[in-house]
Amino acid sequence: MLKTIIQERRSIKKFNGQPVAAADVTAVLEDAAWAPNHGNREPWRFVVAAENGLTAIRETLKECTIPKWNTLSPEELEQKTAGFKLPGAFVFVVVPEDPRQKERLEDFSAASALIQNAQLLAWEKGIGTCWKTPPWIDAPKFRQALGVLPGERILAMVQFGYYDELPKAKARTPISEKITYFS
């Protein structure tokens, strides 16, 4: 079962606009938090926009990520904001920026494992996801809008949503070509 979910899961980039219940997102994150994390630090927190928060996050995304959006024509603005309108929920994963390099790397790795867990758990529920790291994720205006504090970093924006079409699998390099056996 798990092997099948791992092999069949795809990043969904074309959502159908149906909202994802906040309770479903919370349930996915609750189970995903069983990701391994050194010292059980649980180095993550989340900003979730679902249900009633969708309108507000879409407006925030528009205002914080599109330079001079108010000077664009309606057609240009529609084109630039199209990707914000169809996901059914957004999860921003926030991690501490530990000044110690080893701990920062451990925290980054643990949060990445949590995100992968969340993607697999959502897939099992019939919810698609897409893990994104857009260039504006570190913009001061955006960080402030999400309440990200000094000493924290937004690691990822994970879009959740329902979809009508399943993307095709891309060819993978055989793992045997990526293994060097030490002797």
Determine what percent of the chain falls in helix, strand and coil, rounding each to the nearest 5: 50, 15, 35
Q: What pLDDT was estimated at residue 49? A: 97
Q: What pLDDT was estimated at residue 71? A: 83
Residue 11 marked in a binding site? yes
Residue 125 marked in a binding site? no
Q: What pLDDT was estimated at residue 79? A: 82
Greatest CA span in the chain, whole angstroms? 63
Q: For residue 100, count other CB atoms closer than 10 A to its CB.
A: 9
Residue 73 marked in a binding site? no
Q: What is the pTM of this model?
A: 0.92
Contact 41, 110 (CB under 8 A): yes
CATH architecture of 2-164: 3-Layer(aba) Sandwich (3.40)
Residue 3 marked in a binding site? no
- First-last CA distance in the chain: 35
Residue 58 marked in a binding site? no
- Domain ranges in the chain are 2-164
Q: What pLDDT was estimated at residue 4? A: 92
Q: What pLDDT was estimated at residue 170? A: 86
pLDDT in tens, 28-40: 999 999 999 999 9
Q: Taking residues 48-64, report their average pLDDT.
A: 93
Q: Which residues pair with 159 in a beta bridge?
A: 90, 130
pLDDT in tens, 63-72: 888 877 778 8
Return the beta strands (E) in the chain as ranges: 45-50, 89-96, 128-132, 152-161
Distance CA 38, CA 13 (A): 32
Residue 87, pLDDT above cutoff 80: yes
